[in-house]
């Protein structure tokens, strides 16, 4: 019997479960999302590697997500997933439940002439395009970030002089018991690629405060930034984006290239010839090979320069 089973949504938007296939540990009655068992994470990460998620839930909306979380035993680990662009899932997969928000928590709506309400599953690129169409400026930098707003909030995503939390006026979160919370900016400590706030909560939505601008000017700016990104980064190849944070006063890519790592490979995982802070999966790489290459680069830079590179990518899951 196959190891993957699905609970499909029927016409009444309720989960349709076949008990002959697999005994779910969760009460699925009246839920409207989709639950999968042993879902390959290689299908959901931009590196295209990773073992299976023990359980993989795609909620229908925030209320459905809350109802699902209320039924998860407190000892079962949870992991929230956006576009999978800044994570490395190990080859042994993820124990517990993965909550997938990309394309599902997807409400994006103007609140007034200066504010946008954005759910966590909306892509950063869509936020930039929508703001421009509304004649608002400030989000253009998001056009080139390959992730969701949930991920941008969690890591204070930044690029080309723009930074996520500068725009934030309030957030909505959910804890593992399905309780919803409204938080202000003062509830968080925000720095370069770091955000610290109430523990055990995940972002579900954000209110962005923007400035009036020109649709045409914003579209021009977006095109310029995307061109810079395409010219300088290996777009279209399996990677996680930048692997390391930039150290104070320097660039991780410069240090890695100077140390001779550009173009070097380890079992199908290669440092990009185009941008040294990108590691590319050439097609046959495993998560273990990528993780080993990250460690080798970090050790090399530490030994040669004394600089400790801090990984930007989050490594999660079990080893084989």
Active site residues: 193, 242, 312
H or E segment at 6? strand 6-9
Q: Residue 245: phi, psi to the nearest 5? A: -70, 155
The predicted-structure confidence for 28-74, as pLDDT tens digits, reads as follows 788 999 999 999 999 999 999 999 999 999 999 999 999 999 999 88
Distance (Å, rounded) from C-alpha 232 to C-alpha 242? 12
Residue 77 binned pLDDT confidence (cut-offs 50, 70, 90): very high
Residue 159 binned pLDDT confidence (cut-offs 50, 70, 90): confident
Distance (Å, rounded) from C-alpha 54 to C-alpha 60? 20
The predicted-structure confidence for 123-157, as pLDDT tens digits, reads as follows 999 999 999 999 999 999 999 898 899 999 999 99
Q: How many Cα atoms are found within 13 Å in the side-chain-facing hemisphere of 16?
A: 6
User: If you average pLDDT over every residue of the chain, what do you get?
Assistant: 90
Pairing of strands 115-119, 201-209: antiparallel
Indicate if the alpha-carbon torsion angle 62, 68, 71, 74 is positive or negative.
negative
CB 253, CB 277: distance < 8 Å: yes
**In the predicted structure, residue 27 carries a pLDDT above the cut 90:** no
Pair of tokens at residue 258 = 């100077």
**In the predicted structure, residue 16 carries a pLDDT above the cut 50:** no
CB 109, CB 116: distance < 8 Å: yes
Structural domains of the chain in order of their starting residue, each with its CATH number:
6-100 (3.30.43.10), 108-231 (3.30.465.10), 234-316 (3.90.78.10)
Q: Lowest-pLDDT range, 9-18, 130-139, 198-207, 253-262?
A: 9-18
Distance (Å, rounded) from C-alpha 137 to C-alpha 211? 5
Residue 103 binned pLDDT confidence (cut-offs 50, 70, 90): confident
Q: How many Cα atoms are found within 13 Å in the side-chain-facing hemisphere of 194?
A: 9
The owner of tokens 């009444």 is: 12
């Amino acid at each position: 019997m196959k190891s993957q089973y699905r609970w499909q949504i029927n016409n009444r938007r309720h989960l349709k479960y076949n008990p002959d296939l697999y005994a779910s540990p969760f009460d699925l009655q009246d839920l409207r999302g989709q639950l999968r068992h042993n879902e390959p994470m290689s299908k959901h990460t931009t590196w295209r590697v990773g073992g299976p998620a023990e359980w993989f839930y795609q909620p229908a909306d925030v209320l459905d997500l809350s109802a699902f979380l209320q039924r998860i035993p407190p000892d079962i680990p949870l992991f929230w997933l956006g576009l999978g662009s800044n994570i490395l899932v190990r080859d042994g997969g993820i124990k517990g439940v993965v909550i997938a928000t990309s394309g599902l928590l997807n409400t994006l709506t103007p609140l007034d002439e200066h504010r946008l309400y954005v759910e966590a599953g909306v892509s950063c690129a869509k936020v930039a395009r929508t703001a421009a169409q509304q004649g608002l400026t400030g989000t253009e930098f998001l056009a080139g970030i390959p992730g969701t707003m949930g991920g941008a909030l969690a890591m204070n995503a930044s690029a080309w002089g723009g930074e996520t939390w500068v725009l934030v006026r309030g957030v909505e979160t959910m804890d593992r018991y399905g309780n919803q919370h409204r938080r202000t900016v003062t509830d968080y400590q925000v720095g370069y690629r770091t955000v610290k706030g109430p523990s055990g909560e995940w972002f579900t939505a954000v209110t962005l405060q923007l400035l009036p601008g020109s649709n045409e000017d914003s579209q021009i700016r977006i095109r310029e930034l995307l061109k810079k990104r395409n010219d300088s980064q290996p777009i279209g190849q399996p990677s996680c984006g930048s692997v390391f944070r930039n150290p104070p006063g320097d660039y991780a890519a410069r240090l890695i290239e100077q140390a001779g790592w550009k173009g070097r490979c380890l079992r199908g995982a290669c440092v990009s010839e185009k941008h040294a802070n990108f590691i590319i999966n050439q097609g046959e790489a495993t998560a273990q090979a990528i993780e080993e290459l990250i460690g080798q680069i970090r050790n090399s830079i530490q030994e040669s320069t004394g600089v400790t590179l801090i990984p930007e990518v989050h490594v999660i899951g079990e080893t084989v």
